[in-house]
Structure 1
Amino acid sequence: MKRLLLAAAVSLLTATSAMAQTVYLVRHAEKADASADPVLSEAGQARAAALSAALAEAHPGYIFTSPLQRTRLTAEPTATFHSAAIEPVGFDGGSAGHVAAIAERVRALPDDAVVLVVGHSNTIPLIARALGFAEAADMPECEYDRMTMLHLAGDETHSQVTRYGAPTTCE
Structure 2
Amino acid sequence: MNRIATLLGILLVLAATGCAMPTERAAQTEAQGVVFVLVRHAEKAKDDPKDPTLSDAGMARANRLAESLAKQHVVAAYATAYRRTQLTAAPTARSHGLDVRTHDAGMPAVEFARQLRASHRTGTVLVVGHSNTIPELAGALCACPVAPMAEDEFDRRMDIRIDADDRATLAQRRD
TM-score range, shorter chain: 0.7 to 0.9
Whole-Å separation in 1 of the counterparts to 2:51 and 2:108: 17
8 Å contact kept, 2:44–2:53: yes
2:96 is the counterpart of 1:85: no
Whole-Å separation in 1 of the counterparts to 2:44 and 2:56: 9
Q: Which residue of 1 aligns with 2:54?
A: 40
Percent identity of equivalent pairs: 39
Whole-Å separation in 1 of the counterparts to 2:90 and 2:108: 20
| 1:30 paired residue among 43, 65, 71 | 43
Q: Which residue of 2 aligns with 1:3?
A: none
Q: Which runs of 5+ in 2 are unaligned?
A: 1-26
Whole-Å separation in 2 of the counterparts to 1:52 and 1:103: 23
Q: Which residue of 2 aligns with 1:139?
A: 149
2:143 is the counterpart of 1:129: no
8 Å contact kept, 1:89–1:101: no
TM-score by length of structure 1 reads 0.78
Quote the offset at 1:108 in angstroms.
1.6
8 Å contact kept, 2:29–2:122: no
Q: Which residue of 2 aligns with 1:103?
A: 113
Q: Which runs of 5+ in 1 are unaligned?
A: 1-13, 165-171
Q: Which has the larger radius of gyration?
A: 2
**Cα offsets for 1:52-95 (capped at 9, x unmatched):** 0111111211111111110000011111111112111124xx3x
TM-score by length of structure 2 reads 0.77
Q: Which residue of 2 aligns with 1:158?
A: 169
